Amino acid sequence: MGGDHGPPVTVGGVREYLKRHGGEGVRFLLHGDEKALAAEVKKAGVGEVCEIRATDKVIAMDEKPAQAMRRGKGSSMWNAVETVKTGEAAGVVSAGNTGAMAISKLLLRMSAKGLERPAIVASWPTLNGITAVLDVGANITSDAEQLVDFAIMGEAFHAAVHGSTNPSIGILNVGSEDMKGHEDVREAATILRDNPFGLNYHGFVEGDDIAKGTVDVVVTDGFTGNIALKTAEGTARFISTLMKEALTSSMQAKAGALLALPALRQMRARIDPGAINGGPLLGLNGIVVKSHGGADAKGYGNAIRVTVDLARSDYTAKVGANLKRLDAVLHSTPSEPVETVS
Amino acid sequence: MGGDHGPPVTVGGVREYLKRHGGEGVRFLLHGDEKALAAEVKKAGVGEVCEIRATDKVIAMDEKPAQAMRRGKGSSMWNAVETVKTGEAAGVVSAGNTGAMAISKLLLRMSAKGLERPAIVASWPTLNGITAVLDVGANITSDAEQLVDFAIMGEAFHAAVHGSTNPSIGILNVGSEDMKGHEDVREAATILRDNPFGLNYHGFVEGDDIAKGTVDVVVTDGFTGNIALKTAEGTARFISTLMKEALTSSMQAKAGALLALPALRQMRARIDPGAINGGPLLGLNGIVVKSHGGADAKGYGNAIRVTVDLARSDYTAKVGANLKRLDAVLHSTPSEPVETVS
């Protein structure tokens, strides 16, 4: 029921997913208003793989997370997360209210002990493919342990969803030298450098390394990550506004733009937010993927793709094993060797 | 002597400055290699307003700041900063080694008590003109007092250099609501909200507000500011690379690009880094402006313009008075009313 457009986009997303990836081995439980969902399922022709779980209760997009949690029980969002908890569903995808995070945390609990809230990962288009950047907004301050949590989860995410083998990991910093930055990034770097997780740790990276694609996974606290992401979005919008102004500023420019249009459209497709829509809430006992509220059916279809990829991969097992190892590294007493504990 | 190109750019910068702004009331002391400087002064035809202060000692661009400081005495950079200390010069501009910051701090001392290092301000092109963003790299962690220091200095900088009256100020955060973000930004917001500085405080702003030009001054810690700036630069370079690829991808696209070229060039001029080159080191007892090492003569001329504007304005007096007021607000005992103390 969620998102700016509701069932036309979420059920349309199922249709888009099936069109691109086929329906083998996938079934969808649709939670929400029975009539609205049934109409969309019929329209989209996806009845064969869908089952409607009716509920009248819907959390509005503008409700505060605390409110969403309090009166959430029995809502479409609550019921959807509950199917993950019971194991009936392998994952849940929602374009709804950010209360999804509070409800997920309440029902599923955190698997990453160091985290207060699930981390949000952004799939960032770069000159080199796609880089996973996390956390982009959930955890406002992050100590070294949390940053290592992000590295572990981001690595498994990138491998599962973007198909990389042995993804490289960088920690976002103000310089690449070892002594740069504050204590938390330096300590996280130390843990990752002599790491027992088998991760491909690259070192510190700077802001401009993100779009360069220097590494596959960029780790940062949620405050810096959120600001980096929104600054990049703002910059892209700024340039695109100037460009539109320039290309409509004279008859000659307009003629040039017309000729260049097919090439520019192709370029646009490469940075189409729909194609990278779908960010999991990382660190929960269960797969929960958040679609952008404004996504269209194609974008929502991609969020479904991310959910299926995560559920089918060894993501959960790999993250579980590495978080356990991290816990042993950080919290074992010197007399207990790490190997024994893990 | 500094920068990637040395005297041809620094002396060329004087020529460019004079061409745009005239030489009334301005004199230049050029510190460095006598022969190299004299040749450039002759070539640029700027002998009338220039005086050479000869020294053989030059700090190389690749020397570490600590090294630059240790063996800096008598170097062109040291001598230049010293003329500001003695009052012979109203300001210094350098494209040299980052050791300039260490030497400036050593010779001039900080005026902003809360700061460990001078803050660096970036003049950021936006849809709304130019926004000053600070700190973009010097102070890695910033408490509430430092953030307020940045607000005070950024405001005076924007008024002096970008000609605004009553510039608006925002604190960079992950959301605009009062309860968003960590303790330091929330405390800084509280101080600024019931501020005794007469500043035009807008509230929290987000990453995408920078390029929108929502406010004239964006305040943030040096870690986040540096990453935001470099992320924006990386994003701009990413888009420009994709665009070049797109516009050379076919004969048709090339023809279109050719037609649109004059308009695109005009657009480029608007985000030309040379036109916004020159960032002061804020918080020192004296005006020190840093040019980008790779700037050309036109860019260096703009750094000179920034220095002259700061020196001619009421920047120093205004910042001094407001820092004093802040000190009274933060460090006065309850029994001494703020009014009496300031």
* pLDDT tens figures, A249-260: 899 999 998 998
Considering only A144-148, A176-180, B87-91, which range has the smallest mean pLDDT? A176-180
Q: How far apart are CA A41 and CA A33, in angstroms?
A: 12
Closest residue in chain A to residue B223, using alpha carbons only: A174
Which pair of structure tokens corresponds to residue B342?
């300031």
According to the model, what pLDDT value does residue B341 have? 40
Reported as type and span, the H/E element at residue B121 is strand B119-126
Q: Please, what is the Cα angle at B299 between B317 and B244, to 5 degrees?
A: 130
Considering only A320-324, B31-35, B163-167, B334-338, which range has the smallest mean pLDDT? B334-338
- A82: number of Cβ within 10 Å: 19
According to the model, what pLDDT value does residue B116 have? 81
Residue B270 exposed, middle or buried by CB count within 10 Å (0-12, 13-18, 19+): exposed
Per-residue pLDDT for B83 more than 50?
Answer: yes
Of A228, A255, A258, the CB nearest to B231: A228
Per-residue pLDDT for B46 more than 80?
Answer: yes
Closest residue in chain A to residue B254, using alpha carbons only: A260
Listing DSSP states for A79-145 in one string gives HHHHHHHHTSSS-EEE-S-THHHHHHHHHH-BSSTT-SS-EEEEEEEETTEEEEEE-SSS-SS--HH
Q: Looking at the complex, does the CB of residue B182 fall below 8 Å from at least one CB of chain A? A: yes
- Smallest CA–CA distance, residue A124 to chain B, in Å, is 11
Considering only A264-278, A315-329, B103-117, B292-306, which range has the smallest mean pLDDT? A264-278
Q: Looking at the complex, does the CB of residue A251 fall below 8 Å from at least one CB of chain B? A: no
Taking only residues 102 to 141 of chain A, the set having a beta carbon closer than 8 angstroms to any beta carbon of chain B reads 125-127, 137, 140-141
Which pair of structure tokens corresponds to residue B187?
């405390």
Residue with tokens 């249009």: A261
Considering only A38-47, B93-102, B131-140, which range has the smallest mean pLDDT? B93-102
Q: For residue B342, what pLDDT band results from cuts at 50, 70 and 90? A: very low
According to the model, what pLDDT value does residue A334 have? 56
Q: Looking at the complex, does the CB of residue B36 fall below 8 Å from at least one CB of chain A? A: no
**Residues A292/A123, Cβ–Cβ less than 8 Å:** no
A-chain residues within 8 Å CB-CB of B224?
223-224, 227
According to the model, what pLDDT value does residue A57 have? 85
According to the model, what pLDDT value does residue A340 have? 42
Looking at residue B89, what DSSP letter applies? S
Find the radius of gyration of the CA atoms of chain B: 21
Give pLDDT tens digits for B249-265. Answer: 899 999 998 998 888 88
Q: For residue A179, what pLDDT band results from cuts at 50, 70 and 90? A: confident
Q: For residue A341, what pLDDT band results from cuts at 50, 70 and 90? A: very low
Percent of chain B with pLDDT over 70: 96
What's the average model confidence in pLDDT over B192-219? 94
Taking only residues 261 to 280 of chain B, the set having a beta carbon closer than 8 angstroms to any beta carbon of chain A reads 261-264, 266-267, 270-271
**Residues A274/A296, Cβ–Cβ less than 8 Å:** yes
Q: Please, which residues bridge with residue B172 across strands? A: B205
Question: Residue B282 — φ and ψ, nearest 5°?
Answer: -90, 145
Q: For residue A333, what pLDDT band results from cuts at 50, 70 and 90? A: low
Per-residue pLDDT for B339 more than 70?
Answer: no
Domain residue limits, chain A? 1-108
Q: How far apart are CA B104 and CA B286, in angstroms?
A: 9
Helix, strand, or coil (residue A267): helix
Residue B23 exposed, middle or buried by CB count within 10 Å (0-12, 13-18, 19+): middle
Q: How far apart are CA A174 and CA A246, in angstroms?
A: 34
Q: How far apart are CA B96 and CA B294, in angstroms?
A: 10
According to the model, what pLDDT value does residue B334 have? 56
Q: Between A98 and B257, whose confidence is greater? A: B257
Q: Are strands A217-219 and A129-134 parallel, antiparallel or unpaired?
A: parallel
Interface test with A, best of B141, B230, B247 (most A CBs within 10 A): B230
Q: Please, what is the Cα angle at B94 between B91 and B95, to 5 degrees?
A: 155
Shortest CA distance to A151 belongs to which of A282, A285, A250? Answer: A282
Per-residue pLDDT for B31 more than 50?
Answer: yes
Beta strands in B149-292 (DSSP E): 168-172, 200-205, 217-219, 279-282, 288-290
**Residues A30/A92, Cβ–Cβ less than 8 Å:** no
Q: How far apart are CA A278 and CA A116, in angstroms?
A: 21
According to the model, what pLDDT value does residue B17 have? 96
Q: For residue B275, what pLDDT band results from cuts at 50, 70 and 90? A: confident
Return the amino acid letter for B307.
Answer: T
Q: Is there a contact between B227 and A228 if contact means CB atoms under 8 Å apart? A: yes
Percent of chain A with pLDDT over 70: 96
Shortest CA distance to B300 belongs to which of B1, B17, B4? Answer: B17
Which pair of structure tokens corresponds to residue A310?
């995560």
What's the average model confidence in pLDDT over A231-236? 93
**Residues A245/A252, Cβ–Cβ less than 8 Å:** no
Give pLDDT tens digits for A277-322. Answer: 888 999 999 999 999 888 999 999 999 999 999 999 999 999 999 9
According to the model, what pLDDT value does residue B340 have? 42
According to the model, what pLDDT value does residue B333 have? 58
Q: How far apart are CA A151 and CA A167, in angstroms?
A: 10
Q: How far apart are CA A312 and CA A49, in angstroms?
A: 17
Q: How far apart are CA A80 and CA A94, in angstroms?
A: 9
**Residues B193/B220, Cβ–Cβ less than 8 Å:** no
Per-residue pLDDT for B68 more than 80?
Answer: no
CB burial of A223-237 (b: ≥16 within 10 Å; e: otherwise) equals bbbbbbbbbbbbbbe
Considering only A156-160, A210-214, A323-327, which range has the smallest mean pLDDT? A323-327
Helix, strand, or coil (residue A56): coil
**Residues B108/B84, Cβ–Cβ less than 8 Å:** yes
Distances A22 to A74, A126, A313 between C-alpha atoms, Å: 31, 28, 17
What's the average model confidence in pLDDT over A107-114? 87
Percent of chain A with pLDDT over 90: 63
For chain A, the average pLDDT equals 89
Helix, strand, or coil (residue A164): coil
- Smallest CA–CA distance, residue A208 to chain B, in Å, is 4
Q: Looking at the complex, does the CB of residue A142 fall below 8 Å from at least one CB of chain B? A: no
Q: Is there a contact between B235 and A236 if contact means CB atoms under 8 Å apart? A: yes
Q: How far apart are CA B114 and CA B195, in angstroms?
A: 17
Which pair of structure tokens corresponds to residue A225?
């990550």
Give pLDDT tens digits for B194-203. Answer: 878 889 999 9
Reported as type and span, the H/E element at residue B294 is none
Looking at residue B216, what DSSP letter applies? S
The torsion region of residue A137 among left (phi > 0), alpha (psi -120 to 50) and beta comes to left
Q: Are strands B279-282 and B119-126 parallel, antiparallel or unpaired?
A: antiparallel
